[in-house]
Amino acid sequence: MPEFLQLVSVDEARGALLAGTAALTEEETIPTGLALGRVTSRDIASPADSPSFRRSEVDGYAVRSHDTHAASAALPAYLSVSGEVLMGRAAGLALAAGQAALIHTGGHVPDGADAVVMVEDTQVSRPGEIEVLRALAPGENVLQVGEDVKVGQVVLAAHVRLRAQEVGALMGLGVVTALNYNTALNTPANRAFLAAFEKATGRSPSAFSAYTYSAARWMAEGMKAVGGDVEDKDRFLAALKKVSLQDDPRGPIQIDQYGSPIQNIYIRKVEQVGGRLRNTVVHTYPNVGQFWTYKPEEFLKNPVYDRDKFPGCRYCE
């Protein structure tokens, strides 16, 4: 049966296959979080340097390396602490000679500093002053601007099927999510909540953990207001609507006249910190209610949502 021996080359077979295949010419823009399994239509270049600022790689103190010259445990360098760099914000300070600033992993290294000493290599000598127990080199424990990715650098080529690692890389290029809680919030209430939660569970809390904690506090405050008498439902509900949590891990929370929460909304950016991907806060919208900047009376004049008139997301199933 000679017909079974009629072979063609790989190139000829590929050409025959492609000849019967229509090329995709349309592009579609979708949220990065829904891109798993999709294929890039063109090269994707980074829109900015990553990181876009000098970033601390450790928890410790931002310092001028020259101020730590020859420092050791036997003969430490003494530096005054001029302030703290809060997570998710610009440094807001600059270091002069002999100064240090408390900084956390992922924090913005302030002007004047060129190194970060790990907290393990320091000790507090007196309020507002630390001892640095080792010398540091310029740039030590500091991730420089663009060290991960340079602006304009191609991070994904065209025609690449996106796996989880490529989606993660794309998320690292920009702002991707908004939420009403973030573990990186550097507030006394959130730090205490993180410490207690991690001690009890051995892991970091999710947003749902924070929601549950807020709800439990809300109920407790309402019960206090009515002296524990929750059988009077109307009185208890009225008390709940008056609760205002100003020291919650998520930030201040209260209820509007329509029974919906007013709370902070955090814009978060995925960054690699200490070898792990995490959300860092890049902007905060304070006291956001269901109407936000709209006047409630004007907003409520609009028709309610109709699924037939406004069909849902094509890629949400």
The answer to whether 183 and 204 are in contact (CB under 8 A) is: yes
**More confidently predicted of 166 and 27:** 166
Could you tell me the pLDDT band of residue 268, with boundaries at 50, 70 and 90?
confident
Residue 202 pLDDT > 70: yes
Report the pLDDT value the prediction gives residue 274, as an integer from 0 to 100: 59
Residue 165 pLDDT > 90: no
Most distant pair of Cα atoms in the chain: their distance:
95
**More confidently predicted of 258 and 273:** 258
> Around Cβ 212, how many Cβ atoms within 10 Å?
12
**Fold adopted by 179-299:** Rossmann fold (3.40.50)
Residue 316 pLDDT > 50: no
Tens of pLDDT, residues 211-245: 999 999 999 999 999 999 999 999 999 999 999 99
Residue 156 pLDDT > 50: yes
In whole numbers, what is the pLDDT of the chain averaged over residues?
A: 86
The answer to whether 155 and 169 are in contact (CB under 8 A) is: yes
Of 2-6, 106-110, 250-254, 286-290, the poorest mean pLDDT is in 2-6
List beta partners, residue 280. Answer: 269
Report the pLDDT value the prediction gives residue 317, as an integer from 0 to 100: 44
Q: Give me the architecture of the 55-143 domain, per CATH.
A: Beta Complex (2.170)
Report the pLDDT value the prediction gives residue 315, as an integer from 0 to 100: 47
Residue 38 pLDDT > 80: yes
Tens of pLDDT, residues 41-98: 888 888 778 888 999 999 999 999 999 999 999 999 999 999 999 887 788 899 999 9
Tell me the torsion sign for CA atoms 21, 22, 26, 28: negative
**Distance of alpha carbon 102 from alpha carbon 119, whole angstroms:** 9
Q: What does DSSP assign to residue 94?
A: B
Closest CA to 184 of 280, 251, 286, 108: 280
- List the chain domain ranges: 39-53+149-173, 55-143, 179-299
